[in-house]
Structure 1
Amino acid sequence: MSSSTVAQFSPFSTSVSPSFWSTLAAIKIDKLQLSDENVPVRGHYEVGKVIYDRKTDEDVPLPAAVSFDGQGLIEGGYALPPNTFPAWGTLKNFNTIEEFKTADKQKVFNDVAQEILDGILTAQDPTPFLTRFLVLSFADLKKYKFVHWFGFPALVAKPGWELAGADAQQRGWKAADGVVGRDQMPAIGAALAQRRALQGSDSASAAFFLARRTAGEEWQLSDVTSYEPFFANVSEDERIVGFVDPSPLSDSPGWPLRNLLALLSVRYGVRKIRVVAWKDPLGSQISSTATYRSRVAALMQPEVGSDASNQVVAKGRTVLLAYEAGQPARPNAVGWERNSQGKLAPKMADLSPLMDPKRLADQAVDLNLKLMRWRIMPDINLEKIHNTKCLLLGAGTLGCYVARTLMGWGVRHITLLDSSRVSFSNPVRQPLFDFEDCLDGGKPKAECAAAKLSKIYPGVEAKGIQMSIPMPGHPVPASSLEQTRADVRHLEQLIDEHDVVYLLMDSRESRWLPTLLGAAKNKLLLNAALGFDSYLVMRHGASPDVQPTTTPARGQEIPLTRRRLGCYYCNDIVAPADSLTDRTLDQMCTVTRPGLAAIAGASAVELMVSVLQHKDGILAPASTAARKDASTRDEDSSDPSKSGSVLGLIPHQIRGFLAQFSNLLIVGQAYERCTACSPAIVEAYRKDGFDMLLKAFNDEVYLEKITGLDKLKAETEALDADLDWSGSEAEEGDGELL
């Protein structure tokens, strides 16, 4: 028989939506990480299409494509588009481009071919195996490029299927023949549509069918698995098998027919069959005079030659097996997709030009953070950090470094508050400002810093507010009363709206009001302060009504790390007062070693992140640098693995000394007479609100009266006055009192 009568099949190509690759990137980062396990994938195809070209007055065939989008990678989230048919496969993503290049791709391909053969031989419903595919890929998530290779394994038949009888002589597929007439196409289309409606659009069997004509000239359709009973009383010449054909070509049926013929041969011993390649819309009412594209041909497989030992031993013997020395037989299959140059080689999808640069920035920021979870710390809760809203009081040197570090951790919501403007001395020490920001009197610091954050990373929600914070020891004149009231109300609102508050101001008394508000509202407060070559970073304790300030009873020892942690003012025995008046130039400016602010700012953010990773949050016990005393029952607070945070220790205070390049971890409990966080102060604020605050601003001793520090001071002075500083030794002249 002439070789020109051998049936030719139109291979599948792919149409891959950018959403497919973006979803793969998300799965790689969040789920797969370093795993190279197979990922289930779904795609879909439809009836082959042609489009009319008005310029050439010709029909142009579109590729027989399987389409993929992001939903196909989401388990349980795939909705098959209307008038399409499903395809199932697996994706294997490699961790490096070298692994992708050196992988035994043919072995992976052959494994899928073996699954297809096993399914054809044994599965109750083998139709899902007829359009199986695989995807090999490497995802370069930094450049958003995806190297990939799709394969649609089709079992090789030997001898191959050929056109039979008159079809062979005409060397082609016909619009109709003696068994399937042209006028019968509308009835077949209607039966196909009805069958698919009954089976559901997600059924693979809807794309493959058996057909026969009844005595009443009606068409009956059935599943291919019913071959033997369905055709029990039907002559071989009138047996019809059909499939929804993705090929637009009239003389080349689509790729799924190859595996369908293999199924018929090895499972049912079919060696001759009439095939309908359905290329028209399902259910379309085609008249007997209408043009329709579906094609019919009779196919047959010649007798098996002398190499029958290389065939699958079943009712038919059509699937060629490949043998290798020392290896079991495997099915021979073809079906790798060719690239744009027509070569059997991978393709590359470059999504970076198609994507919004802001989206690319989001992906890149998330990638750097999520890489931490892959091997180093899989238990870290990045989402909690991401969703934390931070309020930075102070947009100077510390504020700039804290803001930059927060962005590095993926914090998306940052609000800065400051009352000053950018000066010429700022840009070299404060990394969010440059020379132009100093001109014309300088831009407001908070607003300028927020704008620079958005410029660095558009995904951050940054806001700058120019405002002064009222301070104790700074009386409020009558003319400023309403403005002060508005400022206090605004600050209260800001602290309510944020989860963490950073105290980064350059004066001691400016930290008092936010410290009180944080204690009253149980917010996590982080404090950073700089000396010349030393710094302090600390976290304030919880609200006194959440974790009461307790004094151990006599004979009872409460571990230090379990007591309520103190605030910035808990070591003071006087109320904060005006420290800004009559300052010399060196006192007006923060005179500090240039590298200190970066260290302190970064330490403050890292302390926040460690607290967020602890199950108790703001109530997390303080870690220390010293080993526990064997006589106590406290946990080993110096052991990072036992701190309760995946990031290690969670100190209360970090006191750093750059001269010695050393840090001390200090724990200080809350002071019951503290002028900022004690129960008496918090209760007074909750009771009287702004009136209480106004008294604190105007009266230097008001806070001492509320806490009882005035009485303690009076008692101390009285005790000092009662002491007799003269001694017998001095009276005898044996020494000088120093």
Structure 2
Amino acid sequence: MLLTFADLKKYIYYYWFAFPCLCPSQEITIVTGPVQLNQKFTSSQVTQLQTEYDKFQQKNGQYVGYFIIQETKDGLTMEHINKTNSCLQNGSKVVFGFCDPCSVDAYPGWTLRNYLALISYHWGKSLSEVDIVCFRDRSKDGIRDISCSLVLTVKVPSFTDVPKCVGWEKNERSKLGPRMVNLSASMDPTRLAESAVDLNLKLMRWRLLPELSLDKISQTKCLLLGAGTLGCNVARCLMGWGVRHLTLVDNGRVSYSNPVRQSLFVFEDCMNGGRLKAEAAAESLKKIFPGVNATGLNISLPMPGHPVSDGALEMVKSDVQKLDDLVQSHDAIFLLLDTRESRWLPTLMAAAKQKIVICSALGFDTFLVMRHGIKTENSEIPSGASLSSHMIIPGDQLGCYFCNDVVAPGNSTKDRTLDQQCTVSRPGMSYLASALAAELLISVLQHQDGAKAPADTSAKDEHLTQELSCSLGLVPHQIRCFLSRFHQVLPASRMFDKCTACSKTVVDSYKKEGFEFLLKAFNDPGYLENLTGLTQMHMDTLDAEVWDFSDDEECSSMEMS
């Protein structure tokens, strides 16, 4: 018997062996032996005994350690110990045998004590002396040999009371208690960390969510566009969920105001003009957990409304190609950028390549977290955009960040003072939004339909009673929080057939024309609106009310215009 306990956090292992031994009140004495098997049996009997042993084990189908050897006029036969009574009634001579694990020449194994107690209890009245074969099946010089087996004769008493039992091993202090092995000092710290960081996830699956697929999470490659307040916190949360491949993209440097709000930076990162944010964030992730595959890239994202000069053409073309390669090689894209127009190009690329997109944007006391729908060839997208808080929208019909906008993204920093260009948020907003962005991705990955999961909403609190389609709970389209009222809603909106980022017209133009199409969008403020039909829609609805986005709230709050 073995009792074990593993302290998995400290890699300390406790174990306590017991070799149970029955101790009859009357003494069992050895009459003769033990002697070698070939001193008691002839060579032909030894060969026959080996053959009978093989037949016996094959006949039982599973290993049997105790048996009897019956001597008949035809030779030796081997039977199960439960045949002892019938053999004795036939007058046959019975020799008790057992598989002896001991290798000491003149001493039988420990298990013989319990075997003799069994024999004494059942047949002590009819048998005063019994012969015992300690069967040892060994290999000597590559040749099987059972001649090292022992034979002895013992005098057995008869008893009916249950004997006492001993056998618990004493520890190194000669006390009855477990022994301990501490393996932490002998193990690679990196390997220790790899095992320890996933312990919470394994306990989560073991105790609460047996259907949780940790492999699906760990194999997901995440691209984080933006390594600022949102990017740092999203990366930390994804690591906690077991994501091991993270690529961060940013073209900024760490400033003195960053470390108190952006969790992957310290004061030293601000020195000498500041380190590149993406590289510093990736290095910080590796310091937190060396097992993460984190990469930081300094790339500028071209944007509509920001014309490209001839001198910068090659650099912009190179950045576009790098971003295209990154979107292609990753499974999930996080849009964690400061401005609306900076989200346009990755939104378009992800739509063209059918990638999961999680977008997060902050206002002063409001934030938006949303996932983009993945449109397929069979997706049926109705004309016009619709916003609803009570309908179930299929995952391949969900809108993107730009689908509720009826104007093309432009230069949102133009004609703004420096303080107006900065995103001003309550300090807790980024932590809340980042956590929800990471959790939304995990819920999407765990849903049976993946990125095509339909949108759950919070209409009339139906989510409190409805049956959940994902083991982790709801999988909404959008999460909009109003922190001043500590209120949160889960609206859902369909794709807009005139969307400037994910509509079929725009995606097909990008696939067909490539960089030339992007240059038109960068340099011509009205190009996307003309291409998608928004210009004509504006003309048709000049005297009607239309929904537009306010530049006052980066998190896409909507107002009437």
Normalising to structure 1: TM-score of the pair? 0.64
* Residue of structure 1 equivalent to 2:392: 561
Per the TM alignment, residue 675 of structure 1 is displaced from its structure 2 partner at its CA by 0.3
- Evaluate the alpha carbon distance shift between residue 614 and residue 714 of structure 1 in structure 2; reply closer, same or farther with a 3 A threshold: same
* Residue of structure 1 equivalent to 2:430: 597
SS of 1:513 mapped into structure 2: helix
Most deviating of 565-574 and 244-253: 244-253
Of 24, 40, 63 in structure 2, the residue corresponding to residue 204 of structure 1 is: 63
Of 127, 132, 139 in structure 2, the residue corresponding to residue 282 of structure 1 is: 139
- Evaluate the alpha carbon distance shift between residue 587 and residue 670 of structure 1 in structure 2; reply closer, same or farther with a 3 A threshold: same
CA contact (8 A) 2:99 2:135 kept: yes
CA distance in 2: counterparts of 1:235 and 1:626, whole angstroms: 85
Over aligned residue pairs, what C-alpha RMSD do you find? 3.9
CA contact (8 A) 1:190 1:285 kept: no
* Residue of structure 1 equivalent to 2:28: 161
- Evaluate the alpha carbon distance shift between residue 285 and residue 431 of structure 1 in structure 2; reply closer, same or farther with a 3 A threshold: closer
CA distance in 1: counterparts of 2:98 and 2:171, whole angstroms: 27
* Residue of structure 2 equivalent to 1:415: 247
* Residue of structure 2 equivalent to 1:606: 439
Q: State percent identity of aligned pairs.
A: 46
* Residue of structure 2 equivalent to 1:677: 502
Q: In structure 1, what residue type is equivalent to 2:520?
A: K
Per the TM alignment, residue 295 of structure 1 is displaced from its structure 2 partner at its CA by 4.5
1:36-435 to 2 correspondences below 5 Å: 134-165=1-32, 167=33, 173-174=34-35, 179=40, 188=46, 192=50, 195=53, 199=57, 203-205=62-64, 210=69, 222-223=78-79, 225=81, 241-250=96-105, 252-265=107-120, 270-277=127-134, 281-282=138-139, 295-302=150-157, 304=158, 308=159, 311=160, 320-321=161-162, 332-374=164-206, 376-435=208-267
* Residue of structure 2 equivalent to 1:687: 512
User: How far does the alpha carbon of each residue in 1:400-443 deviate from its partner, in whole angstroms, 9 at most, with x for none?
Assistant: 00011111222222221112222232222111111222334333
Q: In structure 2, what residue type is equivalent to 1:321?
A: V
1:590-669 to 2 correspondences below 5 Å: 590-627=423-460, 636=462, 638-639=463-464, 641-669=466-494
Normalising to structure 2: TM-score of the pair? 0.82
Q: Tell me which of the two structures has the higher relative contact order, counting C-alpha pairs closer than 8 angstroms and 6 or more residues apart.
A: 2
Q: In structure 1, what residue type is equivalent to 2:10?
A: K
CA distance in 2: counterparts of 1:549 and 1:252, whole angstroms: 85
CA distance in 2: counterparts of 1:256 and 1:204, whole angstroms: 16
- Evaluate the alpha carbon distance shift between residue 235 and residue 682 of structure 1 in structure 2; reply closer, same or farther with a 3 A threshold: closer
Q: In structure 1, what residue type is equivalent to 2:30?
A: L
- Evaluate the alpha carbon distance shift between residue 192 and residue 412 of structure 1 in structure 2; reply closer, same or farther with a 3 A threshold: farther
CA distance in 2: counterparts of 1:558 and 1:179, whole angstroms: 91
Q: In structure 2, what residue type is equivalent to 1:179?
A: K
User: How far does the alpha carbon of each residue in 1:597-619 deviate from its partner, in whole angstroms, 9 at most, with x for none?
Assistant: 11111121122223333333333
Per the TM alignment, residue 398 of structure 1 is displaced from its structure 2 partner at its CA by 0.5
- Evaluate the alpha carbon distance shift between residue 371 and residue 558 of structure 1 in structure 2; reply closer, same or farther with a 3 A threshold: closer
SS of 2:479 mapped into structure 1: strand
SS of 1:682 mapped into structure 2: helix
* Residue of structure 2 equivalent to 1:547: 379
User: How far does the alpha carbon of each residue in 1:438-497 deviate from its partner, in whole angstroms, 9 at most, with x for none?
Assistant: 334333222221222122122322222221222222233344444433333332232233
- Determine whether 1:698 maps to 2:526: no
- Determine whether 1:712 maps to 2:537: yes
CA distance in 2: counterparts of 1:598 and 1:214, whole angstroms: 88
User: How far does the alpha carbon of each residue in 1:101-160 deviate from its partner, in whole angstroms, 9 at most, with x for none?
Assistant: xxxxxxxxxxxxxxxxxxxxxxxxxxxxxxxxx333444333333434333334444534
Per the TM alignment, residue 180 of structure 1 is displaced from its structure 2 partner at its CA by 5.3
Most deviating of 497-506 and 421-430: 421-430
- Evaluate the alpha carbon distance shift between residue 437 and residue 210 of structure 1 in structure 2; reply closer, same or farther with a 3 A threshold: farther
1:724-735 to 2 correspondences below 5 Å: none
- Evaluate the alpha carbon distance shift between residue 702 and residue 178 of structure 1 in structure 2; reply closer, same or farther with a 3 A threshold: closer
User: How far does the alpha carbon of each residue in 1:361-409 deviate from its partner, in whole angstroms, 9 at most, with x for none?
Assistant: 2333332123334555555444433333221111111000001111122
CA contact (8 A) 2:389 2:459 kept: no
CA contact (8 A) 2:66 2:80 kept: no
CA distance in 2: counterparts of 1:189 and 1:465, whole angstroms: 75
CA distance in 1: counterparts of 2:298 and 2:55, whole angstroms: 65
Q: In structure 2, what residue type is equivalent to 1:163?
A: I
SS of 1:321 mapped into structure 2: coil
- Evaluate the alpha carbon distance shift between residue 340 and residue 220 of structure 1 in structure 2; reply closer, same or farther with a 3 A threshold: farther
CA contact (8 A) 2:224 2:336 kept: yes
- Evaluate the alpha carbon distance shift between residue 510 and residue 297 of structure 1 in structure 2; reply closer, same or farther with a 3 A threshold: same
Q: In structure 2, what residue type is equivalent to 1:622?
A: A
User: How far does the alpha carbon of each residue in 1:226-249 deviate from its partner, in whole angstroms, 9 at most, with x for none?
Assistant: 76898999996xx65554433354
Gaps of 5+ in 1: 1-133, 168-172, 312-319, 323-331, 629-635, 721-738
Counting matched residue pairs gives 535
Most deviating of 591-600 and 401-410: 591-600
Of 522, 534, 539 in structure 1, the residue corresponding to residue 366 of structure 2 is: 534
CA contact (8 A) 1:144 1:351 kept: yes
